[in-house]
Structure 1
Amino acid sequence: MATSPPYPTHHAGPAEGAPRRRGRWWRRKWVRYGALGTLLATSGLVILALVREQTGTEGFLVGLGLAVFPVPLLVAVFRWLDRVDPGPWRNLLFAFAWGACAAALIAIVANSFATRWIATATADPTNADTLGATVIAPVVEESAKAAAVLLVFLFRRRDFTGIVDGVVIAGVTATGFAFTENILYLGTAFGTDQLNGEHGFMSVTAATFFVRVVMSPFAHPLFTVLTGIGFGIAALSAERHHVRRVLLPLTGLLLAMGMHAMWNGSSNFGEFGFFAVYAVFMVPAFALLTWLAVRSRQRELRTVRTELPAYAAAGWLSPPEPHVLGSMRARRIARQYAARHLGRPAARSVAEYEAYATSLAFLRHRGRDGRAGADFAVRERELLHELWSRREVARPALGYAARATAPVPAPWPAHPAHGYVGQPYGEPHREPYGAPAPYSTYNRPMYNPYGP
């Protein structure tokens, strides 16, 4: 006999009919968004002025044109990793803007101040540059980039559910940071070539482009992804594990600082120090983290295939849908079928159906692990309602994808724990608007969230 999963079935909110208390004005959403937008816009204008001052207008334009090359590729890679349960674009836009504007501004100001202070204190400018690059810069830059991951982790917890989310947010933030930094380095290199009269493949600009854009476009994302993994593992931990949820992100941040320091200090390891660090540490670390990210993505698909059959048994999904929604190939076939026969709006509806179903699977998985919040039942009803409203368009496309990729599984047998004994399959208990009751209610047959 099925046991009740360890999550609440009642929403822990204010009592029904109780007057809602208006929050303080600074807690309102539009105030927070306005303050954040103002901060990012101001940071962007300041960093634009600083970079242009150091590179000149012509150098800035050249640096901008060259620095943009790796950005679409890196963003596409991180978006591909996030295809199982894609987060909203606004999170990625915020992460990129934070890295390119706020984090870059903090790094330029703090690094310059620290380097000048060390040079004044030690009377050794060469030593100051070395310490600044290997000690100060990794601490400042990784902390500034980690702030974006922390903000999404705290204020977008619904979108931050595991390792893949941490990798994506951290990677896009670092991509934005590297974009601004590359403008500065490439623009400065172009100015140096202009002064020396160098052109072509032997120029400083070409060498800088090769090292920063061709050989190591993944360097900054690789460092910050370690921080993102720490936050992602913390997101998988139960809320009662307060120490673990603090120590894991800090550990990831320290690892990111250490790898960043090793990379920046590679030029001090001899003539071939850069290539040695690149081959011995950077490439294996990149391969290992890529494997971890892809493995986490596959684990997410297994979670979908494992959790959604419960909703198919309750009548919310058709029997083949858990298989289809747990396969990226089948999901793509469903979207293509909808676009070909019903148009692009239908394909968008199928994509939304897939995303809501995935979120539902993750929600139930968190409930089984004891990590569901007090609003589990409310969130479950919201997701089920979104699925039900799109079923007319999505189910034919998903059915076609199931036939194209695997045999249709046999119907789920009726079971007393599901609350519809004596009813034929496909005719579960109906709510007033024609949808099955939320699955969590089947574990408690006497409880009906819609009425007595």
Structure 2
Amino acid sequence: MNRFLRVVLWTLNCIGLIGGVLTLVFSLFAGWATDGDLPSAGVIGVSALFAVVELVVVLLAVRFTPLWPRAGAGYVVASLLWGATVSPLLVFPLAVASLELPARLGLDHFEASWGGAYPEETVKSLGVLIILFSFRRLVRPWHGLTTGILVGVGFEVVENAGYAVMGALYDPASDMDGMLSMWGLRVAAGPLLHVLFTGMVGWGIGVAVFTARRSHLWRLGVGAMWMCVAFAAHFCWNIMHDDLRVAVMALVGVALVIYPLFISVVIRAWRSARADAGYVMTDRPLVSVRQLERATVTGVEPGGHRR
């Protein structure tokens, strides 16, 4: 555990939380003060409820698996806060700047791809890396996968709820219909995409950090490879095609790659977690077998329990 990174983690999480609350309050106040279009409180409340339901479903789906690290409630809160507050706060200025590149090159079809994949995957991956070094009980490759899932779902629920509220404003008939339509589209057409993207990056970072007897170059290569996989998947998903049929075929093609890939990662991590027998700690360094007779031995199970 790195104490400096732990301080950085909670400092950024606090800044992100405060910044998110202030942004929300300012947006509502500005809309009210200028008599701008705002969805009703009921629409915002239902959208927030859907976000909570999605978050709880993902948490329960991961909590009762061998992949779950017993790192405490602080670990869960830190991961969710990074995805839900720090990531949007850092992504926005990066996205605005990165959108200029495809526009200047005349590649309008790739504006959403570059403006979304580059800043979002970079910031979320940074959070996973910091979190893995901030909690003592995160010691296995699949802990990176779980951390990525938590960061990803935190980001996804905020993004879905935000898009749903904006969708409410564009529906000519009803704010509620617009919000429900957007939630349905986000959930049905590409469910849990950020969970997949950040989960795969987390797996790569976990393998790179927690695999023993590997060179620094190997670790950098593994982490960079999975980062590129998530970036490429996100980039291809966001490409804006002029023809609707081409767009649908492209999304189906990307989905047929990323969903099976994520499932294969989960299966591999699951098997590794089930086969893990934990490790043994002693109260002093051992230089001979005889010292075991006098040493205090503590067994640490895969979940972090000591016996």
Q: Same fold by TM (over 0.5)?
A: yes
The answer to whether the 8 A contact 2:117-2:234 is kept is yes
Matched, 1:56 2:38: yes
Query: Quick check: 1:99 aligned with 2:87?
Result: no
| Residue 303 of structure 2: aligned partner | none
Aligned to 2:150: 172
CA contact (8 A) 2:67 2:273 kept: no
Instruction: Give the CA deviation at 1:40.
Output: 3.2
Match of 1:445 in 2: 290
8 A contact 2:156–2:192 mirrored in 1: no
In structure 2, which of residues 176, 179, 192 is the aligned counterpart of residue 218 of structure 1? 192
- Residues 40, 102 of structure 1: 8 Å contact kept: yes
The reply to whether residue 301 of structure 1 matches residue 274 of structure 2 is yes
Q: How does 1:218-297 map to 2 (within 5 A)?
A: 218-238=192-212, 241-265=215-239, 267-268=240-241, 270-297=243-270
5+ unaligned residues in a row in structure 2: which ranges?
32-36, 297-307
Is the aligned partner of 1:377 residue 2:222?
no
Give the superposition deviation at 1:133: 0.5
CA shift in 2, pair 1:216/1:446, >3 Å = closer
Q: Which residue number in structure 2 is paired with residue 72 of structure 1? A: 56
- How far apart are 1:33 and its partner, in Å? 7.0
- Residue number among 170, 179, 183 corresponding to 1:205 in the alignment: 179
Task: Measure, in 2, the Cα distance between the counterparts of 1:38 and 1:84.
Answer: 25
Mapped contact 1:170–1:227 kept (Cα < 8 A): yes
Q: Separation in 2 of the partners of 1:216 and 1:33?
A: 30
Q: CA deviation at 1:101?
A: 0.3
In 1, the alpha carbon distance for the partners of 2:210 and 2:13 equals 30
Match of 1:154 among 111, 118, 133: 133
Contact 2:39 2:175 in 1 (8 A): no
Give the partner amino acid of 2:152. A
Aligned to 1:145: 124
Where 1:216 maps in the other structure, the secondary structure is coil
Q: Please list the CA deviations of residues 395-425 of structure 1 after superposition, one character each: whole Å capped at 9, or x if unmatched.
A: xxxxxxxxxxxxxxxxxxxxxxxxxxxxxxx
Is 1:112 aligned with 2:90? no
CA contact (8 A) 2:170 2:178 kept: yes
The whole-number CA distance in structure 2 between the counterparts of 1:84 and 1:35 is 25
1:90 maps to which residue?
Answer: 74
Taking CA–CA contacts closer than 8 Å with sequence separation of 6 or more, which of the two structures ends up with the larger relative contact order?
A: 2
CA distance, structure 1, for counterparts of residue 71 and residue 79 of structure 2:
12
Contact between 1:166 and 1:232, CA under 8 Å: does it hold in 2?
A: yes
Please tell me whether the aligned partners of residues 70 and 213 of structure 1 are also in contact (alpha carbons under 8 angstroms): no
- CA, structure 1 residues 300+34, in 2 after alignment: closer, same or farther (shift >3 Å)? closer
Secondary structure of the residue aligned to 1:171 is helix
**Shift of the alpha carbon at 1:220?**
1.0
* Aligned amino acid, residue 143 of structure 1: T
The one-letter amino acid of 2:209's match is: A
Q: Compared with structure 1, are the counterparts of its residues 48 and 82 closer, same or farther at alpha carbon in structure 2 (3 Å cutoff)?
A: farther
Inter-CA distance 258–57: structure 2 relative to 1 (3 Å threshold): same
| Whole-angstrom distance in 2 between the partners of 1:77 and 1:224 | 16
Structure whose alpha-carbon radius of gyration is higher: 1
- Per-residue CA deviations over 1:149-191 (Å, capped at 9, x if unaligned) read 11022233541311x2111100110111111111211000101
Say if 1:276 and 1:39 are closer, same or farther in 2 by CA, change over 3 A. Answer: same
Contact preservation (8 Å) 1:67, 1:183: yes
Question: Identity percentage over the alignment?
Answer: 17
What secondary structure, in the 3-state scheme, does the structure 1 residue paired with 2:270 have?
helix
Residues in 2 aligned to 1:28 and 1:247: alpha-carbon distance in whole angstroms: 23
TM-score by length of 2: 0.78
What SS does structure 1 have at the residue aligned with 2:38? helix
Summarize the Cα distance change of 1:205–1:156 in structure 2 as closer, same or farther, 3 Å threshold: same
Q: 1:143 to 1:199 in 2, by over 3 A?
A: closer
Shift of 1:300: 2.1
Aligned residues: 285
Provide, for residues 232-261 of structure 1, a one-character-per-residue CA deviation record: whole Å limited to 9, x for no partner.
Answer: 211342265111222211211111111001
Q: Answer whether contact 1:174 1:224 (CA < 8 A) is retained.
A: yes
String of CA shifts for 1:71-118, please: whole Å, max 9, x gaps: 211122222334565332321211111110010112223223443x45
- Please report the TM-score for the alignment, with normalisation by the length of structure 1: 0.55
Partner of 1:181: 159
